[in-house]
């Protein structure tokens, strides 16, 4: 996970600078776990937009009976990644190439992958590389995605472990010492927030911010623009 250490904007000083209204604290607040710092303490201020570590590092493997000896690499996860096994099967042969079907853990067939061409989808990204022996129909790769810890970190739009998806907003300042997880109270739904009270990672783009705001809205966290 790529950590973003520098933050833009001024951290809100009081709760009123962030929260307009909560429907009910019992529904709008959650007790979650903040991941311990990595090499130093992890400091989260009031209003920080957070993401949860949803996925462990993916594991790609070739089936033992493959004829083609090409490899799969460059695997990264996306916003629609599912827990489980992605099955990638050769469905069309070609000299120094081939076409592979891609089936998600829930059984839905995604767009096909082409050997030698980077596969880019909302679920995941990878590239199948040709080897000295061509692939044949029925050759299989798998990409296994295990569940992550679901611990919280500051939103990281460039991450691929799930923390690129906004899931919470910090309700109060919290510090996790190096290597020590701590509890954190967050706003996770049923609340109206001020845009100026949110704390974003430095360098976030407008598109990334809009995607995060859409994530929060889907959870019931409405953000009103000020000014």
pLDDT tens digits along 39-75? 999 999 999 999 999 999 999 999 889 999 999 999 9
Q: What are phi and psi of 211, to 5 degrees?
A: -65, -40
- CB of 81 within 8 A of CB of 159? no
HSE of 44, CA atoms in CB hemisphere, 13 A:
31
- The rounded distance, in Å, linking the Cα atoms of 161 and 193 is 26
Would you give the DSSP letter of residue 45? -
Give the CATH superfamily of 15-54+149-224.
Head decoration protein D (2.40.300.10)
pLDDT tens digits along 139-179? 999 999 999 999 999 999 999 999 999 999 999 999 999 99
The yes-or-no verdict on residue 11 having pLDDT over 50 is no
This prediction's pTM:
0.83
Distance from the first to the final alpha carbon of the chain: 35
CA dihedral 208, 37, 174, 180 (to 10 degrees): 140
pLDDT of residue 13: 54
Q: What is the DSSP annotation of 71-105?
A: EEEEEEE-TT--SEEEEEEEEEEETTEEEEEEE-T
Name the residue ranges covered by the structural domains of the chain. 15-54+149-224, 59-145
Q: What are phi and psi of 27, to 5 degrees?
A: -105, -30
How buried is 46 (Cβ within 10 angstroms: 0-12 exposed, 13-18 middle, 19+ buried)?
A: buried
> What Cα–Cα distance (Å) separates residue 94 from each residue in 40, 64, 74, 129, 134?
51, 21, 22, 13, 8
């Amino acid at each position: 996970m790529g950590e973003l250490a520098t933050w833009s904007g001024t951290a809100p000083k009081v709760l009123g600078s962030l929260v307009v209204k909560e429907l009910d604290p019992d529904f709008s607040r959650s007790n979650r776990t903040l991941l311990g710092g990595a090499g130093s303490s992890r400091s989260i201020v009031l209003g920080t937009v957070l993401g949860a570590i949803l996925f462990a590092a993916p594991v790609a493997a070739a089936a033992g009976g493959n004829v083609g000896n090409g490899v799969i690499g460059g695997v990264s996860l996306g916003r629609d990644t599912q827990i489980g096994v992605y099955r990638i099967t050769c469905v069309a042969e070609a000299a120094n190439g081939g076409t592979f079907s891609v089936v998600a853990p829930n059984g839905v067939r995604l767009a096909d992958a082409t050997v030698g061409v980077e596969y880019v989808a909302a679920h995941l990204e990878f590239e199948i590389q040709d080897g000295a022996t061509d692939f044949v129909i029925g050759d299989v790769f798998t990409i296994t995605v295990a569940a992550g810890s679901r611990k919280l970190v500051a939103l990281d739009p460039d991450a691929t472990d799930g923390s690129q998806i906004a899931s919470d907003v910090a309700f109060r300042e919290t510090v996790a010492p190096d290597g020590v997880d701590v509890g954190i109270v967050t706003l996770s739904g049923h609340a109206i927030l001020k845009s100026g009270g949110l704390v974003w990672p430095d360098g976030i783009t407008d598109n990334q911010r809009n995607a995060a705001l859409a994530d929060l809205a889907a959870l019931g966290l409405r953000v009103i623009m000020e000014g």
